[in-house]
A and B are shown apart, each in its own frame.
Chain A
Amino acid sequence: MNISLKSVLFASALAFASPALAAGTAPNGMPLADDQTFTYRVLDEHSSVDPQIVEDVSGSEIVRDLFEGLYNQDADGNLVPGVALSHTVSDDKLTYTFTLRDNAVWSDGKPVTAGDFEYAWKRLADPETASPYQWFISVMGLKNGEAVMGGEAPVDDLGVKAIDDNTLEVTLASPLSYFPLTTTHASTFPSPKWVIDEFGADWTKPENIVSNGAYVLTEHVPQERSVRERNPMYWDNDGTIIEKVTALVINDENVALTRYLAGELDRTEVPAGQYPSLKAEYPDQALSFPRLCNYYFNFNLSDSGPEATKDVRVRKALSYAVNRDIIVDNVLQGGQFPAYTFTPAATANFEVPTVDYATWTQEERDAKAKELMAEAGYGPDNPLSLTYLYNTSEGHKKIAIAVSQMWKQTLGVEVTLENQEWKTFLETRGNHDFEVARGAWCGDYNEASTFLDLVQTSSGYNDAAYSNAEVDQLLAEAKSMDDPQPNYTRVEEILAEDMPVIPIYHYAGVYMMSPSISGSWPVQNVEQNWYSKDLYKVVTE
């Protein structure tokens, strides 16, 4: 079986290396391949391609190709001009004035104006739109945002205004150092009012849609494929190389891998646990790189939570007894990172603070854990019993089993594992009807507050119901600081001291990717905000 797998692969590798000399040279100096189509797998049908409505990752990937916001990200995740060329900030840090390029046009030939952004942002905030991402207005901190979202103020009060066609003025409620980062988010992209007015909810259908990005939507067969092709009206069409991008919906990751190996796809996810063997067999195709996501366990600190874990010694003991290296190296096996802090190390401008237990060896952590457990009054004659709740999935189950074994062996804790279907799980966890529950978060923007804000008392995602006035204070302060690192360091230290959650690991993106395209893939972009216009395929040997 191995032999024939390899021979097929060899054949497909030959196909990639089609001999004819390509039309040009890639930005990295290699000759471009003749075939400039990119086909990748998505797990599920996207929710929408309407910038203000889309709520899922695969939909946002498409929206980033179809539409262009004020700023884009480069391969490292830095801001680069999109429709906006630059911006200025007022002295009170409340007003941002963006200068828009004058050569940006919609796919129907109309110029892209500041008014299109004003319309889109107001559309996002408008309760009438009922966008699932309406809350992003709060993340952006726009003036009067809360009142507009609640329907208490007219939409026109929102802090965004087109001064003229090429000048957009944004007013914030209070200074927010990372505000420009939010403009790469799909929900802030412009939308064409005249098309939405004409077609209503049908405006995103391929036959109706008008967009301002490097690509236009040419085909969409729900639950099968969506195709986007070059937009000749795009201002940087000459700098765009990939001709056609196809997203194929393939629910089963193993089938997707088979189809990748059969040469039908340029990119697919590596199924859990298969990275080491694939890396050995296809060293130039199996890729792993850091992602801006964390994985952790929540303790239930609310009134409905168990008494035992309200004792910080128990929480610390349970955290110390988790051998993160085993989780990462033996369970996940995909290049993930052991986590001792809530915020991933990959986060931009974030320096991982040294929290004490991260520097210990696992033996030291285990010894300390036993000590703390005994202090708290738990031992062989009085074992602690806990229920761990997770949503049904093979990967979560493996971690649950591994951790429950560690707790059992090191601390004698009796763990009951409970899994629930996704929505039921969300409901149970949201109602604080659990003892210990799984949690995970991917950053909405590349700054530590996207993670740390979750442990604020008021956060809607604070499932641990953790509340610490100092943390709240530090995080509120950080919003307007030029260098909030000291506050973030302090918050992480407090988290290590209070242990309301157990950080388990930080994510890695693990893919099989065609060697022809992987050279242009932005592996350094931890948010994985990739733009097809920056990709290209080269001739490979």
Chain B
Amino acid sequence: MLSFIIRRMAVAIPTLLVLLVASFYLMQFAPGGPFTSERPLPPQVLENIEAKYGLNEPTWKQLVNYVGGIVTEFDFGPSYKYKDRSVNDIIAQGFPVTLTYGTISFLFAIVIGGALGIAAAIRQNSWLDYFAVGITIGAQVLPNFVMAPILILIFSLWLGWLPGGGWNGGQWNHVIMPVIALSTSYMASIARLTRSSMLEVLRSNFIRTARAKGLPERTIIWRHALKPSILPVVSYLGPAFVGMVTGSFIIDSIFSTGGIGYFYVNAAFNRDYAVMMGLTILLGSMTIMFNMVVDILYAWIDPKIRL
């Protein structure tokens, strides 16, 4: 198992390096730069500013300086747009927010989605099944940029129960709507995945054997059917978890949560190179890490993979 983990780690580092170099060069291809503005800066002023940030150097040298800064001082550079903040500041402020509502959404999606899926599979073709399938399809076709404003309309304007946005240090009433809006479609996917794989497992030979032995239905489900049927779900959970905790541009911009999702997308529009790079590295390493966790979990659940 240990050698398996080490093997996976050995692949992760070069992957991250490729990601870093590729993004750094791709970013420079976009027309305009961080200091392109409505009123073009006089060439002299632009020169001053570019010199201050080292943007007058050749791209390869900028890359070397940038990586050097990260390796030696863990410094991801300054924001060119928000001049009194560094990328480290932005991540330190925004990532905990995203991590909080992302993790809650993730747990919410697994618990509700999993329960719905299992219930639907066990009671296939009953009203419970139709109900579960109905709401999961509904949840999946309703995009969160439509759902989020509707939630605000209902809970803030009509009912007046919840604040329409903001984060307020993660106070519970500010977290509810972002979690609902973010988790719904994931929940639906998990429910449908769980349902179909559970149905498949319930029809397999070893379950028939278990039934033939006269085991109680509960034991069959929990002891024998559950583990194999969550395998496809687990492979979905890795990317889903990263997708949720790395934030959502839509959630951040509609609920003004201050998470990194909005900073990330806006950094691209602003050509805020260092912010874009810093967040790419953060999200990239998270993706790599959680894919690795999924692989390990997989190996643990299904010994065949370890071979």
Contacts and interface: CB of A to CB of B under 8 A. Distances in A.
Contacts of B45: 130-132, 134-135, 149
Interface stretch (B34-42, B110-118, B135-143, B287-295): B34-42
A47 B273 CA distance: 15
Nearest to B262: A223
B269 A423 contact: yes
B258 interface: yes
Nearest to A225: B166
Contacts of A225: 166, 256
B212 interface: no
A248 interface: yes
B93 A427 contact: no
A50 B84 contact: yes
Given A134-B45, A222-B94, A251-B262, A258 B81 contact: no
Nearest to A251: B253
B44 interface: yes
B131 interface: no
B164 A259 contact: yes
Interface string A221-257: 1111100000000000000000000001111101100
B304 interface: no
A203 B37 CA distance: 25
Query: Chain A, interface size: which category?
Result: 35 or more
Interface stretch (B18-26, B151-159, B214-222): B151-159
Contacts of B90: 222
A252 B253 contact: yes
Interface residues of B, number: 55
A274 to B, nearest CB: 14
Nearest to A254: B149
Given A53-B83, A224-B166, A261 B157 contact: yes
Interface in A384-423: 421-423
Interface in B178-216: none
B149 A252 contact: yes
Contacts of B160: 8, 11, 262
Interface in B30-67: 30-33, 35-42, 44-45, 48-49, 51-53
Contacts of A469: none
A132 B53 CA distance: 13
Nearest to B42: A135
B149 A248 contact: no
Given A201-B84, A258-B149, A222 B165 contact: no
A423 B36 contact: yes
B167 A221 contact: yes
A124 to B, nearest CB: 11
Contacts of A224: 166-167, 256-258
Contacts of B270: 423
Nearest to A149: B44
A283 interface: no
B250 to A, nearest CB: 9
Contacts of A259: 152, 156, 164-165
Contact of B40 (A47, A150, A424, A460): A460
A230 to B, nearest CB: 22
B82 interface: yes
Interface string B234-259: 00000000000000000011101111
B30 A252 contact: no
B166 A248 contact: yes
A48 B148 CA distance: 30
Contact of B84 (A49, A132, A252): A49
A47 B30 CA distance: 22
A132 B167 contact: no
Contacts of B33: 423
B101 interface: no
Contacts of B83: 47-48, 50, 53, 201
Nearest to B153: A258
5 smallest CB-CB distances across A and B, nearest first, come from: A423-B32, A224-B258, A259-B164, A251-B253, A130-B52
8 contacts: A11-B160, A44-B266, A127-B48, A223-B259, A224-B256, A258-B164, A424-B32, A461-B39
Interface of B: 30-33, 35-42, 44-45, 48-49, 51-53, 78, 81-85, 89-90, 93-94, 148-149, 152-153, 156-158, 160, 163-167, 252-254, 256-259, 262-263, 266, 269-271
Given A225-B256, A262-B157, 8 more contacts: A5-B157, A8-B157, A11-B160, A47-B83, A132-B41, A135-B39, A251-B253, A460-B42
